[in-house]
Amino acid sequence: MRGDFYNILIFSKKASTIRRYRFSRLLARLICFVIPICFIFLGYFSFDYVRMRQEVLELNRLREETQLQRSQIRFFCEKIGEVEKKIAGMREFDRRLRILANLEGPEGKTRQFLGVGGPSPEYIRETLLLQRNEEELVQQMRHDLERLNGEAAAEGDSLRNLEGLLQNKRVQLANTPSIWPARGWLTSGFGYRISPFTGLRQRHEGIDISNRIGTPIIAPAEGLVTNMGREWGFGKILVISHGFGFTTRYAHLSRINVKIGKKVKRGQKIAEIGNTGRSTGPHLHYEVMVNGVPVNPMKYILN
């Protein structure tokens, strides 16, 4: 070292040359100061890079989990909606069976229906799902599950009660019209309508089921054939008495497959759709009477 400078000499074994490097003391100090700092910053940034990469991976994992949870929440929302519809269907079937068998509902029990007194639970869940409010949505789903659990228990009690009552009415039910008498399209309902012949308003005491000539007609319940023949306006007709006040009547037939006095069973072929009498096309005119009074046949169709 001379003065304020450092000298570095490098000797070569193969040659007699000497390489000489000279730098100031200030530069040496700067190098001794800067290099450690560079290593420190390099270590810090390397650690920070690794940490940030781990955080990015963790964030991506959390995003995937969040997406999966949202998909699962949507799936369970749809399942809850399906259960609600099934319970509503069971409730409606319970109600129609009780009407069919002339049975009252369970005493002292108030039947609750979905959507009464405000927006339906399904609408609330769908709104929260669109708003991505998972916390309130989960709370709503928990509330809906508790409600459905109570409704399912109540419906189970009602159906068990109904089963006991139906056991005592088995014979009556076997003789109560409860299925479609023929396949086809419902072209005219029960009640007042405009006559296709006169253009005037008149009472239609049955329903019309349209299909091709020769389409089978089946008995909607067990019964006894009491009348058959021709009648003005209705063409070929057939009447079956089912007992317990029930009578069914079939008109515009092309063919009758049973005879007066013959017993028939539910589902047995009794006639074929035709176009006899006053008719705008092939169809079955089907009537249900209770104690001689025409009633809406749709109340006695369960399938």
Report the predicted TM-score, pTM, of the whole model to 2 decimal places.
0.48
Given a cut of 90, whether residue 72 has pLDDT beyond it is no
Given a cut of 60, whether residue 105 has pLDDT beyond it is no
Residue 128's pLDDT is 67
Find tokens 């769908």 and name the residue: 126
Given a cut of 90, whether residue 253 has pLDDT beyond it is yes
Mean pLDDT over all residues of the chain? 80
More confident residue, 113 or 118: 118
- CB proximity list for 28: less than 8 A, separation 6 or greater: 6
Tell me the per-residue pLDDT of 6-28, one tens digit each, with 9 for 90 and over: 666 666 666 667 777 676 777 77
DSSP H helices in 101-192: 121-131, 134-167, 170-174
Residue 112's pLDDT is 46
Given a cut of 80, whether residue 274 has pLDDT beyond it is yes
More confident residue, 42 or 112: 42
- Which strand (E) or helix (H) includes residue 283? strand 283-290
Kindly list the distances between the CA atom of residue 109 and the CA atoms of 93, 97, 154, 157, 168, in Å, as whole numbers in the listed order. Answer: 17, 17, 9, 10, 22
pLDDT band for 115, please (50, 70, 90 cuts). very low
- Tell me phi and psi for residue 5, to 5 degrees: -125, 155
pLDDT band for 199, please (50, 70, 90 cuts). low
Given a cut of 50, whether residue 52 has pLDDT beyond it is yes
Residue 125's pLDDT is 67
More confident residue, 290 or 31: 290
CA distance 291 to 221: 16
Range 73-76, long-range pairs (CB < 8 A, 24+ positions): 73/129, 73/134, 73/137, 73/138, 73/141, 74/129, 76/141
Given a cut of 80, whether residue 299 has pLDDT beyond it is yes
Given a cut of 70, whether residue 65 has pLDDT beyond it is yes
* Cα dihedral 155→157→160→162 (10° resolution): -70
More confident residue, 24 or 176: 176
Write out the two tokens for 194: 């405009």
Residue 114's pLDDT is 44
More confident residue, 147 or 196: 147
More confident residue, 275 or 102: 275
